[in-house]
Amino acid sequence: MTRMRRLAALLPIGLGVIGLALAGCTTGFSYISRNYVALTPQVVTIGCKEPYEVYDNRQLRRMLIVSDALREYAGCNLSEVRIDPVPEATRVKRFRTAARAYLDETVREDCRITGETVFDPLKSEFAYACDAPIEKRGTVVPRLPGRNPGLNQQ
């Protein structure tokens, strides 16, 4: 009987933990939706020749880097049919390299990365700072191709 009472006492705590965990997931999802859903993704590749999608919110000076699930499971160098033994070990470095490469390829070499938020193994956000002022909305800026550049050129 006492065992049942202990389990009954722990049930609200367990439900509270589950609720907090789910609230964290929805908070990340709503934040990403609010800040990035309207942006067109651009693609940057890094030394391992694997593409990363970049959603750049230039007004907030933040970018969301999105990877591919297969690459994050198997690691870099999939095109060379070589699988990294521990892809998680290089994940942070690859995402940071992609963020830096993106800034360089969009002619913002003077910008520096000031922060990083990991949402999950496929998504990380990077805050950056630049000496130049933030561009006004609608300003034409250098862009990289998207995932299917041939479709956009028609």
Distance separating alpha carbons of residues 47 and 84, to the nearest angstrom: 14
- 97-137 pLDDT, tens per residue? 999 999 999 999 999 999 999 998 899 999 999 999 888 88
Does 31 score more than 80 pLDDT? yes
Q: For the chain, what is the mean pLDDT?
A: 76
For the segment 28-39, the average pLDDT, to the nearest whole number, is: 89
Does 45 score more than 80 pLDDT? yes
- 60-72 pLDDT, tens per residue? 999 999 988 776 6
Beta bridge partners of 52: 44
Q: Looking at the whole model, is its pTM more than 0.85?
A: no
Nearest to 145 by CA among 109, 106, 108, 110: 106
* Exposure b/e, 2-28, CB count within 10 A at least 16 = b: eeeeeeeeeeeeeeeeeeeeeeeeeee
Distance separating alpha carbons of residues 88 and 136, to the nearest angstrom: 38
What's the pLDDT score for residue 106? 93
